[in-house]
Structure 1
Amino acid sequence: MKLFLRWMYPLILGVVMFNTIRLVTDLPNHNPFWAESKSFHVIALLVSVLVSYGFDFKGRYYMEKVRAKSFSVTLEYTLLVVYLFLSVNLILYAGDSIGILYMGDKLADYVIANVVCILYFFLYYILIRNDKLEKEYNQQTLQLEKIKVDQLEIELKFLRAQYHPHFLFNALNTVYFQIDEKNPIPRHTLEMLSELLRYQLYGGNQQVSVRREIDYLKTYMDFQRLRMSKRLVLEVHIDDKLKDQEIYPLLFLPLIENAFKYVGGEYKINLNMSLEDEKIIFCIENSKPLNPPEKTVRKGIGLENLQRRLVLLYPDKYSLEIQDKPFCFIARLTIETDNV
């Protein structure tokens, strides 16, 4: 039904506009309505309808492609009036020249046609413009509601997930005190694991200083090295300028987890974290097995959650690139912070 009305509006505009011109022209001169040749008036009516469809298409195209990156409303309407004035007079002159439009009393007919056509086209443009703005507003409202719902779901998942780390954290403390003090290595390992869990459990979803996040990542990498081959070559380069900038926690962790998970071949992991042009740039690269049994595709809950968190926490302020090269994986995450 809406599509039908969408295509009926220009037809109605053309019919009403043409008959308004006829009324204003014929009745004051006491002439019969649609006087003279009916076929001539039908042709002129068709011209009015076709021009209305053309204006409808042009107006909607302008609002879709141009208005979003255009100028002020006042300038927009001023240019619209100028465009209508030039277009209407060009059509009237061309129609009169080839004989499909009759401009008997030149000046009066041109004035009447200009006033009626420009007024109707202007009002029609306002209607379709307001309709477009209303649709955009409704879409934005729905998008905001969807984001709110997604954020609530994430918070609920976060609260549900807290139970398991909390239980494990307490269990580790119990095991820690059961280990003899003469065995410092396992006690140190449990301390590292407890520190990691404490950060995840009590860090929440609020912003933290990048220095604190870096300390957590270093502890995590030290913990991972305990179970890795001694052949592992881990190179970490962190910009000294990264100190008090605030970021949301645990955004870099999934990329480091993947690096340790998929490392092979030369067993090399290179991590670089820097501050450039008010952006935190995190890049991690790991070598791959020389003869993997099959192509490894990095897909999982970790990266999916990372993508979703970035969309919610840093809309239009991040970029995430993952490259699967023949001998290495490269992940690059860039985040624009508000207080660098």
Structure 2
Amino acid sequence: MYKGTVTKKLECIIHLIYWILIFYFTFVKNPIGRQFSVPDLFLCTYFIVFIITFYFNYLIVMKTVFKTFKWKRLFGGVFVSYLVFTFLRFFFEQIVTKLLFDKVNYTDVNFLNYMLDNLHYSSMAIILSSFLWFVIYSIRLLEYNKLILEENKNTEIKFLKAQINPHFVFNTLNNIYSMVYFQSDKSLVAIDKLSKIMRFTTYESQKEKIKLSDEVDYIKAYIELEQLRHQENVRVALNVEIKNEFEEIPPYILSPLVENALKHGEVSDSEPIEIQLKVSSEKLIFRVKNKIGTQKKDSLGGIGLDNLQKRLQIHYPEKHQIKITNDENHFTAELEIDLK
């Protein structure tokens, strides 16, 4: 996960310094002569309302506005913060102080005048909190964008290097050579499957996103070619339920989990590799389960789990979850992506 220079701890320190400065310039008249302003009742209530409005705008309004920025949402958020300030000030200075101290700040409350007066007083809390939030947000955004550019470069290099496993290609070509030499009727099928895989790794993988059906076709071709290579001893139970086959995903998001299972899994008729893909309009769930080979360590190969997680973080930030379960006999990888 991304951690920039402005951490939560540093953000809290910035806020602490900010409030020290606010109170210093408000209450300290002459620091050398040790002259201080003594706050009266309504200055205290004002600061209470100021602080509550400040953090209401900072923690709720600004985050909501910039989640998906729209000018209407910005003006609406500012107006809500203004209403919160006005309501809280009326509550504390006209109701609470009346009950506790038998005092009110506005002796003659005219609705229009009261709203206009608080438009002035609320502006300071709203403007300062918005400014502070935007400064911190901008720093984090600039750092994150820089990180993303660097991660994209590094991931692309790793991704391109790992697109084709040379051992897989060499072994497959050797098997096809043997098939052709012995005039096997499966040789043409094997060549066709290999050409589909090579076409996918050469062209489709260069795209930012591809159709989900293309990724599934690549997985099927990979499985069938493995079955041909191993004389169909590779048993795979593939279950695909896709509501919209034209749904787009980044290439090689699903296939590394399958490649890992085929590389490290031990298969039999009773315990085949189980692959389940279920895609709705809102969610993608991909699950791969295989029996662990007796002398094989099960860990993601190909582009690797670390590389896969980085790509998921880039394409689906806070919208994905990958679970790896490794019990005594079985290895299970489950990927869940929020497509909304």
Percent identity of equivalent pairs: 20
Q: Does 1:254 align with 2:256?
A: yes
Q: 1:30 maps to which residue?
A: none
Select the structure that is richer in helix: 1
Distance 2:138 2:80 in 1: 22
Quote the offset at 1:257 in angstroms: 1.7
1:183 aligns with 2:182: yes
Change (3 A) 1:321 1:61: same
Choose from 22, 32, 53 the match for 1:59. Answer: 53
1:225 and 2:227 equivalent?
A: yes
1:129-173 Cα offsets, whole Å, 9 max, x none, are 3222332233233323322332233334455667x879x97x899
Give the corresponding residue for 1:23.
none
CA RMSD of aligned residues (A): 4.8
Specify the alignment match of 2:206 in structure 1. Answer: 205
Map of 1:85-234 to 2, 5 A cutoff? 85-90=90-95, 92-93=97-98, 96-97=101-102, 107=107, 119-120=120-121, 122-158=123-159, 181-185=180-184, 189=190, 192-206=193-207, 207-226=209-228, 232-234=234-236
Q: Which structure has the greater CA radius of gyration?
A: 1
> 2: CA distance between counterparts of 1:230 and 1:332?
26
Question: Which of 270, 277, 280 is the aligned partner of 1:276?
Answer: 280
2:305 corresponds to 1:303 = yes
CA distance in structure 2 between the partners assigned to 1:315 and 1:102 by the alignment:
51
Three-state SS of the structure 1 residue aligned to 2:325 is strand
Deviation per CA, 1:205-234, whole angstroms, max 9, x where unpaired? 323333332221112112333555976532
| Structure 1 unmatched runs, 5+ | 17-40
Change (3 A) 1:275 1:236: same
In 1, Cα distance between equivalents of 2:27 and 2:183? 90
Contact kept in structure 1, 2:290 and 2:332, CA below 8 Å:
yes
Number of residue equivalences: 303
Q: Does structure 2 retain, via aligned residues, the 8 Å contact 1:319–1:333?
A: yes
Give 5+ residue unaligned stretches, structure 2.
1-12, 30-35, 66-75, 109-113
Instruction: Please tell me whether the aligned partners of residues 210 and 249 of structure 2 are also in contact (alpha carbons under 8 angstroms).
Output: yes
Match of 1:8 in 2: 21
| Whole-angstrom distance in 2 between the partners of 1:199 and 1:287 | 28
CA gap 1:84/1:118 in 2 versus in 1, 3 angstroms: farther
Q: Residues of 2 paired with 1:180 and 1:282: CA distance? A: 34
1:237 maps onto 2:239 in alignment = yes
Q: In structure 2, do the counterparts of structure 1 residues 159 and 304 end up closer, same or farther at CA, with 3 Å as the change threshold?
A: closer
Is this contact kept in 1: 2:176–2:191, CA < 8 A?
no
The answer on whether the counterparts of 2:283 and 2:337 sit within 8 Å (CA) in structure 1 is: yes
C-alpha distance 242-183 of structure 1, shift in aligned 2 (>3 A): farther
- Residues 269, 12 of structure 1: CA spacing in aligned structure 2 closer, same or farther, 3 A cutoff? same
- Give, in whole Å, the separation in 1 of the partners of 2:116 and 2:277: 66
Tell me, yes or no, if structure 1 residue 82 matches structure 2 residue 87. yes
